[in-house]
Structure 1
């Protein structure tokens, strides 16, 4: 693409690509051979992570926030340690689409969990506080992912592995100050494009 744009003198588009994307040498890839679930996908990256805390960001959840979602989570993490996830309240009939927290303490922004349930029915959901695709995790989760135990949908679920760490590792859900878009749905994808485009003067005709 860069060669194509350069050959046609598209200097602004070329500069945008080079400025907006990280250098290839800063990106490493792990291939997930089979679609065995989010827990398995994270497990596939274990050799890159080693014995360090790490973040997981799911691309079908976009979060428009200032400061950014992960920055807000890092601020919370400095005080709590352990595992921290981004959460939001969802409608009761949507709990079967998310990992749901079973909460023991909640100050309205930060909730401490005593349990986690992956995709429960509305009747079985311990709350409506759902994980929304951002995680700061401790490497101990790999001790459970290594067992490759399958859960909901016959997949290796990250939520199940995190639930297994609760006894020894604090777990908190943080309500993010911002707007979240579920790009797994067509309407969410359209809304995200519109909202992020509105922030860019080159797209909405601003100065």
Structure 2
């Protein structure tokens, strides 16, 4: 059973400077909810019971957000703002959240390696907060359902434009009659003309604990970083690894335009915002 999840969140968020000089990029709000909360809610709705967030410096706001705020709760109670009080209280009761510090920026693989003692000898999920996937059945839940059948590592993938394959980890797959494909290879950011497919890993993984041995022994890249895709490629020779074609709309909220897309689409789903926003856009387009 997949009961633990890792969320790497130690990056500097340089693409959103100057906003991220003091505010973690994972706490930037999509409408009125930090994007990290969307990720945590997806994990909870997929059956996760314990979450470990890998943090870095200047990330205390994340811990504060998911902790209790007694003063705020008392103020909301005193001013009879019971709906807001309920929302705030729910945040601190979502799930058991733990934190570990990645002391050096040595890559995604190293961030996951920092959680080895917490995970122990059991399979676990990894969710990258830069990727929000909006679907009635959560993306991770789709993968958990498949894991229950194959009991092996699974990577969440979606098709991307061929010209963008050099921005992602790309998988080479065998044909399948379902949404689960045996993987023949994994390549990190291949050149467009040599990419084995346009199926990109989009920030969702289910990994067996054997991945930690691979992460400890994989050779760092030219930047000195430990790449998760290199460890997965090594693990592939010891056990079957699968790609799950995820259903849902994917937003790259680590990118400014993707962040704006997510903000607009989630706002349009809100009853109190849908009509005013539609009216405003219509007026702007007619100017």
Q: Same fold (TM over 0.5)?
A: yes
Corresponding residue number in structure 1 for 2:72: 4
Matched position secondary structure for 2:209: coil
The number of aligned residues is 205
The counterpart of 1:69, out of the listed 123, 134, 139, is 139
Corresponding residue number in structure 1 for 2:89: 18
Shift of 1:85: 1.3
Partners of 2:93 and 2:169 in 1: CA distance: 31
Asked if 1:34 corresponds to 2:119, the answer is no
Asked if 1:81 corresponds to 2:160, the answer is no
Structure 1 residues 88, 69: closer, same or farther in 2, change over 3 A?
Answer: same
Shift of 1:67: 1.0
The 5-angstrom pairing of residues 140-151 of structure 1 reads: 140-147=210-217, 149-151=219-221
Structure 1 residues 94, 154: closer, same or farther in 2, change over 3 A?
Answer: farther
Matched position secondary structure for 1:95: helix
Corresponding residue number in structure 1 for 2:43: none
Matched position secondary structure for 2:164: helix
Matched position secondary structure for 2:170: strand
The counterpart of 2:239, out of the listed 169, 172, 176, is 169
Shift of 1:153: 4.4
Structure 1 residues 82, 152: closer, same or farther in 2, change over 3 A?
Answer: farther
Asked if 1:136 corresponds to 2:206, the answer is yes
TM-score of the two chains, using structure 1 as the length reference: 0.89
The answer to which structure, 1 or 2, has the higher relative contact order (CA under 8 A, 6+ apart) is 1
Corresponding residue number in structure 2 for 1:91: 161
Partners of 1:200 and 1:19 in 2: CA distance: 19
Alpha-carbon displacement from aligned partner over 1:117-147 (angstroms, at most 9, x marks no partner): 1111112211111000000110000001112
Partners of 1:176 and 1:2 in 2: CA distance: 40
Shift of 1:196: 2.5
Matched position secondary structure for 1:127: coil
Partners of 2:225 and 2:166 in 1: CA distance: 15
Partners of 2:222 and 2:174 in 1: CA distance: 24
Unaligned runs of 5+ in 2: 1-68, 276-287
Shift of 1:31: 0.6
Q: What RMSD in Å do the two structures reach over aligned CA positions? A: 2.2
Shift of 1:202: 5.2
TM-score of the two chains, using structure 2 as the length reference: 0.66
The counterpart of 1:113, out of the listed 183, 192, 200, is 183
Contact 1:37 1:156 in 2 (8 A): yes
